Amino acid sequence: MKTQYPTYILNSESRMDYYDEVAKLTNKIQQNIPSEINNILYNYNLFVNSQKIESPRNKDEYLIEILTLYILWKQYAYSAKRVNYISFLLLNLLFQLRQKNFLNSKNTIDAVRGKAMSILLPNYNSNAVQMTSVTMQSLKKLIMWLSATGEYTSEAKRLTHWVRYFKTLKKDTFQAYFSGISEFSEWCFSECEKKLAIYTGNLNNFLNSHSSGEKWREDKFQRGKQKDEYYLNMIGAELMNRAYKKDFDAAKKKIILAPGCMRPHNGKLCKAKKTQGYLMCSGCNINCNIFHLNNRFTNATTEVRIMLHESSTFNKKVLDNSSATEAIVGIACVPCLISGGWKARDMNKPAQCVLLNYSGCKKHWDSQGIMTSINTGQLINILKSEHEHHMVLASS
């Protein structure tokens, strides 16, 4: 079935410049963080360092995490509460088999996962905040539910650390913290609605027109993300770009990871050269957006790689996680932005992201496939170092 309603569009003539708008919005959010939230972020950072959970992260990274915590709690806590542990274990096993491509049967496993998730992980899409009180137990079930979907594995990993921290607090302190996070998050997403709704105007049409056909799909949670999750990924990507820019600029080599959907017909006639885990453009089609990306940006320090799916991107065949001299630019559609940034961080790859102007891959969004595109000006800005950027501003 042909998609009538792209979930978001960044480059329509009727829309303002997205990157300027999201930068201004992110500035506003950063400038209006309440002292209570700053206190939570500071204390959590002390906990992470004292427990040696991971290398230190900055405040913006932890800010993304509390916004993620609230939105996923609001969206899925009620559903998670109603699922038993055996279902979680079974679905996690299926996801691990898929990741390892057990017996080269990824497509078969996906079909089984789709049916199993529809039966074992129903999404009631109810007002979870109103219907479910927040407790340590309910947070643990939420994390198990997120892991079991296969869509939120990175989110589940990040939020597990927060649950460890919350367990160290007195009950009334924990409740007060969560209440503060909820109030601040609601304000953030109300601001997002004012500024970013223009880019997601078709999302509800997409969700409504495809709801009847989602039941058995293994990617139903990716396709079914609500507007606040789109906003979370938009401002989260901007915060991540800021947090990782210094390390990105310091890397000697930049690798641009371009999705296969940037090719005509999603690559049906593509003659790209196959290598381990990715493709290299052969210049076979002048009408291909990756052809132009490769011609414009490939040089001695920058390389373009074609990725066929996010699941194949973050592995040692594609990225050498022992090398500290590589940085990546991930090009992705909005629902995948934050998880991709966290996966890159886990591989010690400073990353920047550029959003696809719209979703269009054949596997997830359109039965025929739509060739996607990016704002090349944004990619140019990202590849400039902070020093070069300041030099341009000074001369203008």
CA 276 to centroid of chain Cα atoms: 24
CA distance 256 to 337: 15
Both tokens of 69, joined, read 């915590």
Residues of the chain under the 70 pLDDT cut: 1-5, 12-16, 94-95, 98-107, 109-132, 210-216, 218, 266-267, 309-324, 386-396
- At residue 382, the pLDDT reads 95
Quote the pLDDT of residue 166.
97
The CA distance from 75 to 306, in Å, is 33
Instruction: Give me the pLDDT at residue 391, please.
Output: 45
Q: Output the CA torsion sign for 203, 24, 335, 145.
A: negative
What are 394's two structure tokens?
């000074």
Closest C-alpha among 234, 224, 256, 269 to residue 79: 224
Task: Note the pTM of the prediction, 2 decimals.
Answer: 0.86
Cβ atoms within 10 Å of 216's Cβ, excluding its own: 14
Measure Cα distances from 174 to 12, 50, 107, 168, 187 in Å. Answer: 44, 19, 43, 9, 20
Q: How far apart are CA 115 and CA 112, in angstroms?
A: 5
Count of positions (residues) in the chain: 396
Q: What is the per-residue pLDDT for 314?
A: 64
What is the 3-state secondary structure of 135-160? CHHHHHHHHHHHHHHCCCHHHHHHHH
pLDDT score recorded for residue 149: 82
Q: Give residue limits of the domains in the chain.
A: 18-233, 251-395
